[in-house]
Amino acid sequence: MTAHPATAARAVTGGPKEDGPDLLEHVMGWVLVAVFAMLVTQLGLL
């Protein structure tokens, strides 16, 4: 039985990038949060 070394390369699975979201994605996320907050307050749910 052989053990895998601790420094073995990880398999690429196509998950999210390691460098984080781009600027546009970040801004659009905050716009979505603001629109949702306005909707909640206009409907009187808060």
pTM exceeds cut of 0.85:
no
Q: What is the largest CA-CA distance in the chain?
A: 64
Tens of pLDDT, residue by residue over 1-46, are 566 666 667 777 766 666 666 888 899 999 999 999 999 999 998 7
Rounded Cα distance between 42 and 46, Å, is 9
Query: CB of 45 within 8 A of CB of 38?
Result: no
- Boundaries of every domain in the chain: 22-46
Q: What is the pLDDT of residue 12?
A: 72
Q: What is the pLDDT of residue 45?
A: 85
- The owner of tokens 């601790």 is 6
Rounded Cα distance between 39 and 31, Å, is 12
